[in-house]
Amino acid sequence: MAKIIVDENLINEVLNSRYIEAAFPSKDKIKALFLEGRRLSFYLGVDPTGPDIHLGHTTNLFLLKRIAELGHKIIILIGDFTARIGDPTDKESSRKALTEKEVKENMKTYLEQVQKVLPKKMFEVKHNSAWLKKMSFEDVIRLASKFTVQQMIARDMFQERIKKEKPIFIHEFLYPLMQGYDSVAMEVDGEVGGNDQTFNMLVGRDLSKEVLGKDKVVIATKLLEDPKTGKKLMNKSEGQYISLNDAPNDLFGKVMAMPDQSIIPVLSYATEVPDSRLAEVRKMLDGGENPKMAKEETAYELVKLYYGEKEAQKAKEGFGKVFSEGKTPDNIEEFQISEEVAPILEVLEGSGLANSRSEAKRLVDQKAVTINGEAVEDWGHEIKKGDILKVGSHRFLKIV
């Protein structure tokens, strides 16, 4: 078993890391806990509501990694039960509940993705269905009796909904209770989660105190937000996010496509570049340097982190080729046609580049479709094997 590190400097380093937004009850109290020299357990809950872990999740993973390096135990809790209910956090309308099957499918790739940041031996996995599924109605009532409706509706987003006369369902009140009960069931010493989870995490803290007499600590991490608009950069329910599963080129491209001002948050909270380097980049941007280079560095870092240096280099070169020089990338997706030639509209629709025939026609009309660099002028155009099809600025398809 790993040795518990009680070196005050190292502990301070973890607690003062840039990933942390807030700590409860306080950083000092948490520090004291670390200094006790006991092997503590910290957990991160992830709800498998989609197939991907995105950049917003990794802030937590980076922090957990550091806690693990101090010798403590990390639990990744898969919210296979809670995912089926739907967390109301930050939503103006309630999230759709998932079926058991959907949850299972989403779970599959989750751990693989977690391991890209947190080495396998550093954490163990639990599923909250293990205890939540077994609870009786009586158990649930008892749990519910520990909190008041006022406590629940005090949350911002519930207030929003009340103001807008939008429904709040009872099961949405139950969500924080379930999540809170996870802390009790696992008897953990601490929880790490995004700042938007603070309320839920604190419910767990109250429950731990009441049921176990244990003072569970909570560390809330920074969220990836656009500093200008305050909007979340990763939005799973809207399908806009950068996944750890994105291919190197996509990963690189998606970072490059982000608004300039959001690059510092991403570099800060979604990578492990040293603070000193971060400060340098910040300074350069303030000095009026082209943000493109900061973006490139960020994109490069991310690809390097998940696919290694070689892929990062390749992605960078590919990007430069396609966008700066307007050339065709090296490895593009292929689309098979059965004859030697095929109508362009069929290929567009069949490959998914267009969602319908009408959309395909529109794209042609808008001069968005190019074959080997030549704009397609009419709907009846045929494409042959070996041709390179391009739609918009960056979607390519090789016909085979």
Partner RNA sequence: GGGGGUGUGGCGGAGUGGUCAAUCGCACCUGACUGUAAAUCAGGCGGCCGUGUGCCUACGUAGGUUCGAAUCCUACCGCCCCCA
Strand partners, 46: 78
Q: Half-sphere exposure of residue 80, counting CA atoms within 13 Å on the CB side?
A: 21
Which amino acid is residue 396, in one-letter code? F
Which amino acid is residue 203, in one-letter code? V
The Cα–Cα gap between 283 and 7 comes to: 32
Nearer to RNA, 68 or 152 (CB): 152
Q: Cβ of residue 72: shortest distance to RNA, in angstroms?
A: 39
Q: Cβ of residue 259: shortest distance to RNA, in angstroms?
A: 4
- Residues making contact with RNA (CB under 7 A): 93, 162, 164-168, 238, 240, 256-260, 290-292, 295, 323-324, 349, 355-359, 361-363, 366-368, 378-381, 391-393, 395
Any idea how long the chain is? 400
Nearer to RNA, 147 or 323 (CB): 323
Which phi-psi region, left, alpha or beta, contains residue 342 (left: φ > 0; alpha: ψ -120 to 50)? beta
The beta strands (E) that lie in 151-280 are given as 190-194, 217-221
Q: Half-sphere exposure of residue 214, counting CA atoms within 13 Å on the CB side?
A: 22
Orientation angle between helical segments 170-186 and 137-144, nearest 10 degrees: 100
The Cα–Cα gap between 274 and 348 comes to: 45
Strands 334-335 and 374-375: unpaired
Nearer to RNA, 362 or 385 (CB): 362
Q: Cβ of residue 151: shortest distance to RNA, in angstroms?
A: 18
Handedness of CA 49, 143, 194, 304 (dihedral sign): negative
Q: Cβ of residue 313: shortest distance to RNA, in angstroms?
A: 17
Q: Cβ of residue 38: shortest distance to RNA, in angstroms?
A: 46
Which amino acid is residue 328, in one-letter code? T
Q: Cβ of residue 262: shortest distance to RNA, in angstroms?
A: 9
Nearer to RNA, 14 or 369 (CB): 369
Nearer to RNA, 116 or 361 (CB): 361
Task: Give the DSSP per-residue string, 234-259.
Answer: -BTTTTB--BTTS-HHHHHHHHHTS-
Nearer to RNA, 21 or 359 (CB): 359
N-to-C CA span, the chain: 55
User: Could you give phi then psi for residue 395, rounded to 5 degrees?
Assistant: -105, 120
Nearer to RNA, 146 or 381 (CB): 381
- Residue listed under structure tokens 């319908």: 356
Nearer to RNA, 191 or 301 (CB): 301
Report angle CA 181, 186, 189 to the nearest 5 degrees.
100
The token duo for 110 is 């989750």
